[in-house]
Amino acid sequence: MVIVMDVNSTKKQIKEVTDRLNELGFRTQLIHGVKRIVIGAVGDRKAVDLVTLEQMPGVEKVVPIMHPFKMVSREAREEGTKINIKGIIIGSRKVTVMAGPCAIESKKQMSDAAAFVKKAGAHILRGGAFKPRTSPYSFQGMEEEGLKILKEVSLETSLPTVTEIIDEPSLNLALKYDVDILQIGARNMQNFRLLKTVGQIDKPILLKRGISGTIEEWLMSAEYIMSEGNEKIILCERGIRTFEHYTRNTLDLSAVPLVKQLSHLPVIVDPSHGTGERSLVLPMSLAAVAAGADGLLLEMHPEPTKALCDGAQSLPPSGLQQLVEQLRKVAHAVGRDLS
């Protein structure tokens, strides 16, 4: 890291900063600039909060040089992480499609959804039992009853499942009903307590990027999970909040190849939330795979017009079928295949 001293900083102040850095285990080196002294500090950035240095007398600012994430970084593991979900390998040459309703509403709805998912050639069934909603007056999910349905349908169809958890009680229920992938939603990307908790279990975690999460913060949240021991992390880009309001969010597809450079973790894309608009789901799904995504998370509802949640962005069954067919061609064009 580099510490820029103030134009008017004194020798004494410079000495105090270098002493402090040495104390913290950094090796230091002075650079005498035209007007200022700059201190190069070599060592483990984990050892220090940059902000505490920044307010030592005479310090103008601290400029970090290296990325703050360690265990999730590509440097820590050159080969990409592969995560095996009952034989489906996320992070492999094969692209994985997860699809299903935003919210679990009934046994019939989920059975129908699962049949369509299977028929379309998708691989994993999604369905939410705990729904974080902006309004307290909106449908909040079927909770345990929903997880029970998800489990039944999974057994009937042999489809692995993914569901969102929002706190410890919902996590425990998801474990009880043996969901295959646990999703941390965008609003919980920085719920550090929850991240630590899922870091201590042995289940794949699908970590969505927060609506205003930087790529650095997102990877630091993955670092929270991995630093507790759980290495099975799937990152999911789902759109960020910008000034543009014709789409619900702005899907940041450049995050896909960039994260694959920075990290060894697999990355998938959720174009349903990412755009909020059914008609954009197909083109953005194709684009996601062309950009290098390892999979997709899609909202599909057997009858979108009756959905209790996010109907406007849900595909009908025929839409999913068509999407998977076209996706296969694009996957081939970039040297991959569908699972």
Contacting a second copy within 318-337 (CB under 8 A): 326, 329-330, 332-334
Does residue 223 bind a second copy (CB under 8 A)?
yes
What part of residues 25-44 is at the interface with a second copy (CB under 8 A)?
A: 29, 31-36, 38, 40, 42-44
Residue 272 · residue 259 · CB < 8 Å: no
Residue 291 · residue 283 · CB < 8 Å: no
Among residues 12, 19, 22, 75, which is the contact residue for a second copy, using CB under 8 A? Answer: 75
Does residue 23 bind a second copy (CB under 8 A)?
no
Query: How many whole angstroms from its chain centre is CA 113?
Result: 24
Q: Which two tokens stand for residue 333?
A: 């064009």
Residue 106: which of 138, 130, 141 has the closest Cα? 141
What part of residues 152-171 is at the interface with a second copy (CB under 8 A)?
A: 166-167
Residue 204: which of 125, 90, 295, 75 has the closest Cα? 90
Does residue 78 bind a second copy (CB under 8 A)?
no
Q: How far is the CB of 43 from a second copy (least distance, A)?
A: 7
Sequence-ordered alpha helix ranges (H) in 81-235 = 107-120, 144-157, 168-176, 192-199, 215-227
Per CB under 8 A, the segment of 80-88, 146-154, 156-164, 275-283 that binds a second copy is: 275-283
Does residue 291 bind a second copy (CB under 8 A)?
yes
- The b/e string for 217-247 (b: 16+ C-beta within 10 A; e otherwise) is bbbbbbbbbbbeebbbbbbbbbbbeeeeeee
Among residues 104, 234, 308, 324, which is the contact residue for a second copy, using CB under 8 A? Answer: 308
Of the pair 157, 290, the CB lying nearest a second copy is at: 290
Concatenating the DSSP letter of every residue in 257-279 gives: HHHHHHBSS-EEE-HHHHH--HH
Q: How far is the CB of 283 from a second copy (least distance, A)?
A: 4
Residues 188-207 vs a second copy: string with x where CB under 8 A?
A: x-xxxx--x-----------
Per CB under 8 A, the segment of 89-97, 142-150, 200-208, 250-258 that binds a second copy is: 250-258
